[in-house]
Chain A
């Protein structure tokens, strides 16, 4: 049986190119690359796909396409609920805390005055992040009350309404490195350190990768996180602390260009295997329902 695979992507970076080349090599895949800039809903016939893999760089576009697609019955990687949870740091942290998965302490505040109180509650240094940001953009470490007041005032005056939601996180000293682990369903397929000269270690900001072993602790915490977030294909960012590993952030449209240099797995091929497996499982469920 051929699987109609859609890859949602407007910007073809190395990750998307590797996925597309891999998909084109496989005889069981009919590939359609869906550029969300070029489609209109509902004239795009996306409901004819068996599965849609979200690789869209614009989180707003991805969010809306995945929300609309969640009503069609097409299998999505990832499910819209997972996209929603991972797309907002406040939702992510609340979910982790509810399920007692170790994560840095955090507060969410909704105006400047309560944001300052939240920072003081957390203690200095504290980290202020946009709830929906990525790549370390607009993330600030504040070391004292004066810098907290200035940062909060600047954020409150920015145009985007998202900056008036204040996400405050405990700063965890890690020696300018964190860990990125890749999980596909219930399998942790690889992990790598990301290290930088700066406390912000995102690959988009120059963080470089080196191998990190798949320890029992890593498998346990990442596996538990994946279950709580509905499974899927996730890049989980972790911090090493004196309390053990902490889940920092979860990314549902995983970037792996830098990490794959340090991981002995073909991540695009594994991601494609997982996506096709999800479509086949979904078809099987539908088929079995018809037989009942």
Chain B
């Protein structure tokens, strides 16, 4: 269980969550990054940068 750093909503991380995975807060919709699995911790995901892409 983690809390959204923006709106404090409690979020259950699925069992197959991966380090650095991106997820959306179900309440405020912000993109979060899983910065740690043990202990579970999320932070605001980095914002899109000009060199992002494929």
Q: Residues of A at under 8 Å CB distance from B?
A: 9-13, 16-17, 20-21, 33, 35, 57-60, 132-135, 137, 160, 204, 235, 251-255
Contact = CB atoms under 8 A, between A and B. Distances in A.
B22 A132 contact: no
Among the interface residues B19, B21, B50, which one has the most CB atoms of the partner chain A within 10 A? Answer: B50
B53 A57 contact: yes
A277 B30 CA distance: 39
Tell me whether chain A's interface is mostly helix, strand or loop, or mixed.
Answer: loop
Given A17-B21, A137-B53, 13 more contacts: A11-B22, A11-B45, A12-B20, A17-B16, A17-B18, A21-B16, A35-B19, A57-B52, A57-B53, A59-B51, A134-B52, A134-B54, A251-B54
Contacts of A251: 53-54
B54 A160 contact: no
Tell me whether chain B's interface is mostly helix, strand or loop, or mixed.
Answer: loop
B53 A133 contact: yes
Interface residues of B, number: 16
Interface of B: 16, 18-22, 33-34, 45-46, 49-54
Contacts of A13: 22
Contacts of B46: 11
Given A11-B33, A11-B45, A58-B49, A35 B20 contact: yes
